[in-house]
Amino acid sequence: MNGVYPASRMPTITQDGKPKESSIDKAELFADIFKSVSSDNNNTPEFIATKATTERENDYLFDINSSTDSDVSTCCLNDNFNIEELQRAIRRAKSDSAPGKDRVSFTMLQRLPKSAIKIILKFYNIVWRKRTIPLDFKHGIVVPILKPNKSLQEATSYRPICLTSCLEKIMERMVTDRLTYYLEYNKGLTKSAFRKNRSNIDQIIKLQDEINRNIHTIRDTLVVFSSTSNVLLICYGGKAFS
């Protein structure tokens, strides 16, 4: 009635048959679980080798002194951000998104006057030039959320929600927009990649078009699907094999 909600308590978590009851033990367990999920150890050797080769072949992109005004393809990657980029990133931010530890929300940023926006822009460009991420940008509040129809006592039943600084998210958006423009302009993304204004429907339409053309030209179509249960479904000439 007073509008005060009781704080929910995390239930006892069991790992290898041993219960984790204290808050510290639970936090350490979740930290290890979530860290292992995003670890590079989950990547295949082929992916790691391809990533290293790509970075080595394009190392000039990481050199802020390699871009020149005459180089159209890279001149904008490492330049200072401008007021239009910042205003666009703030305008596109979701006002209902939860803030980080600093409690600065997107709504607050969207209501700032232009003079304050210029100060934030100056701060971003200092960070950009020095290439040193502020410690507050690296801090996040990780909240475990129970997955639907999962056991309360299993640590793997929870997915992490990380609350980070909205100021950090705005800078990430500017970097993402600039990188996306570069990749689109230089055709650095494959046709089947997750891109703006693209969806799985596009790939289905392409497949349907390929099948229709092959039917009219009396040719076979070979398609291999992989489901979440790791079962391959192979379609050849209109017949399916699993």
204 and 178, same structural domain? no
177 and 65, same structural domain? yes
Residue 1, domain member (yes or no): no
Range of the domain at 207: 200-241
Lowest average pLDDT, out of 23-27, 63-67, 117-121, goes to 63-67
Say if residues 15 and 21 touch (Cβ distance below 8 Å): no
Mean pLDDT over residues 169-194, rounded?
81
Cα–Cα distance measured from residue 116 to residue 87, given in angstroms and rounded to the nearest whole number: 12
Cα–Cα distance measured from residue 136 to residue 120, given in angstroms and rounded to the nearest whole number: 15
Residue 81, domain member (yes or no): yes
135 and 96, same structural domain? yes
Mean pLDDT over residues 218-228, rounded?
72
Count structural domains, the chain: 2
Look at residue 74 in the predicted model and tell me its pLDDT.
57
138 and 35, same structural domain? yes
Say if residues 162 and 140 touch (Cβ distance below 8 Å): yes
Report which of 163, 85, 88, 167 is spatially closest to residue 120, judged by C-alpha positions.
Answer: 167
- Mean pLDDT over each residue of the chain, to the nearest integer: 82
215 and 181, same structural domain? no
Look at residue 69 in the predicted model and tell me its pLDDT.
45
Give the Å distances, CA to CA, from 236 to 35, 99, 122, 208, 212.
41, 51, 59, 14, 14
DSSP character at residue 241: E
Residue 4, domain member (yes or no): no
56 and 33, same structural domain? yes
Look at residue 104 in the predicted model and tell me its pLDDT.
93
Residue 7, domain member (yes or no): no
Mean pLDDT over residues 190-210, rounded?
74
pLDDT tens string 57-108: 877 766 656 544 445 455 578 889 999 999 999 999 998 888 999 999 999 9
134 and 96, same structural domain? yes
pLDDT tens string 4-24: 666 567 788 888 888 888 889
126 and 228, same structural domain? no
Out of 185, 214, 230, pick the residue that ends a domain.
Answer: 185
Contacts of residue 130, defined as CB under 8 A and 6 or more positions apart, other chains included, come to none
158 and 205, same structural domain? no
Out of 185, 213, 233, pick the residue that ends a domain.
Answer: 185
Mean pLDDT over residues 215-232, rounded?
69
117 and 93, same structural domain? yes
